[in-house]
């Protein structure tokens, strides 16, 4: 007989599909054989010792007995009380039927000595063949069901143990992931705090736009400059609060940055609180997965400098004619009084006037060469330069190893002093570049490394550091491969270019 358990077939432990039954009765062995032999595998014993050995043998063969009919009056070996007790010690699952009569030991005494109680029944003599057959059938079925349930329980126990082990493993892994996530969140919070603290006190205006051109971030300086309108700008584009012509030009500049993935330094003009303001803007891409994802910008308001430059030009136009007249008059009087006693004094006045003109020129040359800037992708357009411009102040040489200074100054509208300020800022900002970049690469933060290499390339281009620009571009390109060894190899030329 076969039973199904959890989808698998389990064979019961009996021969040829028949349950095994043990008979320990020296008087009615033939009777049992006639009643049960056709349906069951019978083992007949005439003595108690034989019955115990038969049970031991069946367990060794892994063919246990389902039911045991035991006569309480066994003449040799264990008696009717001891025999079922010994059988149940060997195999507690055997269903035992005690055959008793009026002179036998009481059922209470047998139940007291023999356990478990649910595996023990009493049959009073005389009994019929039908009673024996019915007991064999019912108890055999009970034994089979008990073993089937036992096997199911064992298999379920194994499954529970496996699932418990798997749950323990998953719980351990989950705890690791939670701890890792908490560390990542802590690092992210720290990064955000550093970012917002930096942006809060940054004197320049800074902003971030998404790929659609909507503002997603404006720093404190922007809020001060734009006032109450700042909150209204989050989630909106330039089209929604700027004149059409202005918005179109700003969007065109943004497209250059996002399409070409490079830094763009330009002069933009916008209207703030009914006043035209001139902003020196550096726009740059913010990468995600190696592609421009956001647009960042830093803007410095140079309106006051431009107005000061206009005033300087006006002063130059007013002062230069007067100084030239004074000098010409001194020269003429000196020639006319060539032999007078005042010749020496006149020479002194003449020399002082020329020295004063040089000094005034130097004072008036401090500024930026701009007038009415338009929307052009150049740094500082000059549209009304003087007819005879003064010599450029040579605060820096035309070039240094690795630097094309004159070219950079030309892009800045000829302002040597502005270039000097930018150069000093670059040196201070990039002094720890190699150390920080190496840390990003060793931590496999390749995206951050790529962004830093790209920013260095743009900054180097701004100051015309040609050697550094080429090295930074090579470093940027190799960052995309995420090959740690190759990236660190190309970091050396960059570090050398920064130091020298």
Task: Quickly list DSSP for 344-372.
Answer: HHHHHHHHHHHHHHHHHHHHHTSS---SS
Give CA–CA dist 100/123, Å, rounded: 6
Q: Is the pLDDT of residue 11 over 50?
A: no
* Paired sense of beta strands 215-218 and 205-209, if any: antiparallel
Domain assignment of residue 167, yes or no: no
Average pLDDT over residues 476-488: 90
Average model confidence (pLDDT) across the chain: 77
Claim to verify: residue 145 and residue 52 sit in the same structural domain: yes
The pLDDT value given to residue 106: 61
Claim to verify: residue 296 and residue 310 sit in the same structural domain: no
Burial class of residue 287 (count of CB atoms within 10 Å of its CB; 0-12, 13-18, 19+): middle
Claim to verify: residue 69 and residue 20 sit in the same structural domain: yes
The pLDDT value given to residue 432: 87
Claim to verify: residue 10 and residue 67 sit in the same structural domain: yes
Claim to verify: residue 450 and residue 460 sit in the same structural domain: yes
Cα Rg for the chain, rounded, in angstroms? 52
CATH number at residue 88: 3.40.50.2300
Give CA–CA dist 380/422, Å, rounded: 15
Structural domain count of the chain: 4
Claim to verify: residue 14 and residue 151 sit in the same structural domain: yes
Of residues 247 and 383, the one with the higher pLDDT is 247
**Residue indicated by tokens 């190759």:** 486
Claim to verify: residue 235 and residue 92 sit in the same structural domain: no
Claim to verify: residue 281 and residue 418 sit in the same structural domain: no
Structure tokens belonging to residue 387: 């007819």
The pLDDT value given to residue 178: 92
Claim to verify: residue 343 and residue 481 sit in the same structural domain: no
Domain assignment of residue 191, yes or no: no
Q: Which tens digits make up the pLDDT trace of 325-357?
A: 676 666 666 555 554 555 666 667 767 776 776
Q: Is the pLDDT of residue 298 over 70?
A: yes
CATH number at residue 470: 1.20.120
Domain assignment of residue 181, yes or no: no
* Paired sense of beta strands 120-124 and 8-11, if any: unpaired
- The residue among 253, 273, 301 that closes a domain is 301
Domain assignment of residue 314, yes or no: yes
Q: Is the pLDDT of residue 295 over 90?
A: yes
Structure tokens belonging to residue 407: 């070219």
The pLDDT value given to residue 75: 58
Q: Is the pLDDT of residue 36 over 90?
A: no
- The residue among 279, 301, 323 that closes a domain is 301
- The residue among 258, 280, 301 that closes a domain is 301
Taking residue 36's Cβ as centre, other Cβ atoms within 10 Å add up to 22
Domain of 225, in residue numbers: 202-301
Least confident of 196-200, 208-212, 236-240: 196-200
The pLDDT value given to residue 162: 92
**pLDDT bucket at 413, cuts 50 / 70 / 90:** low
Q: Is the pLDDT of residue 403 over 90?
A: no
Claim to verify: residue 8 and residue 143 sit in the same structural domain: yes
Quick check: 362 and 385 in contact, CB under 8 A? no
pTM (two decimals)? 0.39
Claim to verify: residue 351 and residue 268 sit in the same structural domain: no
Domain assignment of residue 9, yes or no: yes
Domain assignment of residue 186, yes or no: no
Adjacency order of strands within the sheet including 291-301: 215-218, 205-209, 291-301, 275-288, 264-272
Claim to verify: residue 243 and residue 123 sit in the same structural domain: no
Domain assignment of residue 372, yes or no: no
Q: Is the pLDDT of residue 65 over 90?
A: yes
Domain assignment of residue 60, yes or no: yes
The pLDDT value given to residue 271: 77
Q: Which tens digits make up the pLDDT trace of 172-204?
A: 999 999 998 988 888 888 888 887 787 777 888
Q: Which tens digits make up the pLDDT trace of 105-160?
A: 566 666 665 666 677 787 777 778 888 888 888 988 889 898 899 899 999 999 99
């Amino acid at each position: 007989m076969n039973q199904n358990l959890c989808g698998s077939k389990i064979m019961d432990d009996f021969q040829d599909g028949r349950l095994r039954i043990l008979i320990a009765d020296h008087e009615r062995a033939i009777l049992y054989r006639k009643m049960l032999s056709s349906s069951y595998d019978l083992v007949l014993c005439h003595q108690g010792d034989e019955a115990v050995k038969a049970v031991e043998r069946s367990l060794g063969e892994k063919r246990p007995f389902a039911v045991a009919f035991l006569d309480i009056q066994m003449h040799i070996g264990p008696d009717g009380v001891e025999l079922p007790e010994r059988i149940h010690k060997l195999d507690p699952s055997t269903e035992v039927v005690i055959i008793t009569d009026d002179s036998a030991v009481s059922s209470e005494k047998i139940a007291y000595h023999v356990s478990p109680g649910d595996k023990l029944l009493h049959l009073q003599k005389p009994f019929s063949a039908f009673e024996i057959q019915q007991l064999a059938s019912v108890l055999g079925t009970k034994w089979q069901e008990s073993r089937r349930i036992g096997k199911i329980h064992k298999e379920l126990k194994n499954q529970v143990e496996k699932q418990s082990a798997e749950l323990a493993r998953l719980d351990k892994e989950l705890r690791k992931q939670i701890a890792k996530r908490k560390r990542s969140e802590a690092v992210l919070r720290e990064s955000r705090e550093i970012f917002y603290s930096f942006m809060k006190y940054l004197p320049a205006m800074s902003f971030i736009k998404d790929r659609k051109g909507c503002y997603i971030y404006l720093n404190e300086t922007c809020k001060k400059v734009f006032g109450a309108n700042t909150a209204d700008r989050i989630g909106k584009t330039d089209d929604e609060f700027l004149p059409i012509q202005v918005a179109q030009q700003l969007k065109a500049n943004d497209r250059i940055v996002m399409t070409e993935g490079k830094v763009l330094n330009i002069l933009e003009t916008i209207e703030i609180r009914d006043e035209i303001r001139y902003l020196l803007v550096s726009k740059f891409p913010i990468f995600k997965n190696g592609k421009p994802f956001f647009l960042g910008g830093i803007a410095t308001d140079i309106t006051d400098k431009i107005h000061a430059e206009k005033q300087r030009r006006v002063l130059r136009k007013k002062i230069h004619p007067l100084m030239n007249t004074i000098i010409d008059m001194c020269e003429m009087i000196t020639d006319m009084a060539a032999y007078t006693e005042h010749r020496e004094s006149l020479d002194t006045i003449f020399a002082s006037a020329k020295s004063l003109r040089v000094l005034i020129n130097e004072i008036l040359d401090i500024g930026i060469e701009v007038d009415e800037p338009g929307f052009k992708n150049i740094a500082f357009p000059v549209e009304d330069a003087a007819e005879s411009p003064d010599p450029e102040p040579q605060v820096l040489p035309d070039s240094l190893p690795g630097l094309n200074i004159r070219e950079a100054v030309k892009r800045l509208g000829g302002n040597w002093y502005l270039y000097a300020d930018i150069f000093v800022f670059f040196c201070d900002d990039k002094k720890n570049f190699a150390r920080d970049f190496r840390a990003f690469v060793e931590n496999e933060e390749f995206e951050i490394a790529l962004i830093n290499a790209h920013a260095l390339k743009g900054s180097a281009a701004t100051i015309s550091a040609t050697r550094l620009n080429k090295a930074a571009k090579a470093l940027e390109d190799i960052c995309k491969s995420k090959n740690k060894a190759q990236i660190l190899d190309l970091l050396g030329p960059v570090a050398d270019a920064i130091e020298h």
